[in-house]
Amino acid sequence: MAAPMELFCWAGGWGLPSVDPDSLAVLTYARFTGAPLKVHKVTNPWRSPSGCLPALKTKEEGVLSQMHQIITHLRKQKYNADYDLSARQGADTLAFVSLLEEKLLPVLMYREAQECLTLLSQRLGDQKFFFGDSPASLDAFVFSHLAPLLKAKLPNGKLQQHLKSLQNLCDYCTSILSLYFPWDGGDAPSSTPKTPASEGAESEEEPYKRRNQILSVLVGLAAMIGYAFLSGIVSVQRGTPGAAGPRPIALEEEEEEEE
């Protein structure tokens, strides 16, 4: 059996599997498609083979270190979330991604970002996902940028309050978390029992781990605000159709901390 692709991404926080929108987009897209990834969640980008996060280590193309390149590679490997989309839905995907980029750029005002969230809420309506009962790439992009905004501890979060007032978007994020990341806190439970020696070492390293966790959260928040939620362009092409509902979880997760 071929070795799985290895994904290096920012660790989680706020009850999310990752605090970085780009990392979260890739993780969510992989969950949607059942792509077999070995996931390394780290708090230091130098632990990544490319020196940045997210990064995908592949046999065919070496190391890919941009979100859209990673998703494109997954599509080439027949893990494509957009196979069943019609031409109209593909055009809608591009239109909504462009809308998000235009309205949520950092130089624009809160009012336009608020209008963008309202439009997303209206487009989603009472559907489970943006195109019905099955998730597509647009859902991965939207979720990866709405979920941190919804979960982050923001002192004066007017935009966050507006998002919380849009109940269908809140339910949408909660549903994706429960379906595709069902464990508490967004991190898979460890299967390795702790020994007294390991517990002692962990206690000694606790200040460093706490420092790195705080840094990862701050970087994720900076990424969320700096990039204003969406920075990827979606291309519409799909490989193998899948049944409605959540796909088999194929990610083997491995939590790593900076020593």
pTM of the complete model beyond 0.85: no
So what's the pLDDT on residue 59? 87
All structural domains of the chain with their residue ranges: 5-255
Q: What is the pLDDT of residue 239?
A: 42
CATH architecture of the domain with range 5-255: Up-down Bundle (1.20)
| CB contact at 8 A, 29 and 74 | yes
Give which of 33, 29, 21 is closest to 239, Cα–Cα.
Answer: 33
Q: What is the chain's pLDDT, residue by residue, as a tens digit (259 residues)?
A: 456 799 999 999 999 999 998 999 999 999 999 999 999 999 988 889 999 999 999 988 899 998 889 999 999 999 999 999 999 998 998 888 787 767 765 545 788 888 899 999 999 999 999 999 999 999 999 999 899 999 988 777 888 999 999 999 999 999 999 999 987 454 444 433 344 333 343 334 444 445 555 555 455 544 444 443 333 333 333 444 444 444 444 455 555 544 3
According to the model, what pLDDT value does residue 96 have? Answer: 86
Q: Which strands form 252-255's sheet, in the order they lie side by side? A: 62-64, 55-58, 5-10, 37-42, 252-255
Task: Name the residue type at position 130.
Answer: F
| 219's tokens | 């970087």
Please, are residues 122 and 172 in contact by the beta-carbon 8 Å criterion? no
Cβ atoms within 10 Å, residue 27: 29
State the angle between helix axes of 110-124 and 137-151 in degrees (0 to 180), rounded to the nearest 10: 130
The predicted pLDDT at position 56 comes to 96
Residue 234's pLDDT is what? 34
Rounded to whole angstroms, what are the CA distances from 140 to 59, 135, 137, 150?
24, 8, 5, 15
Give burial (CB, 10 Å; 0-12/13-18/19+) of 99.
middle
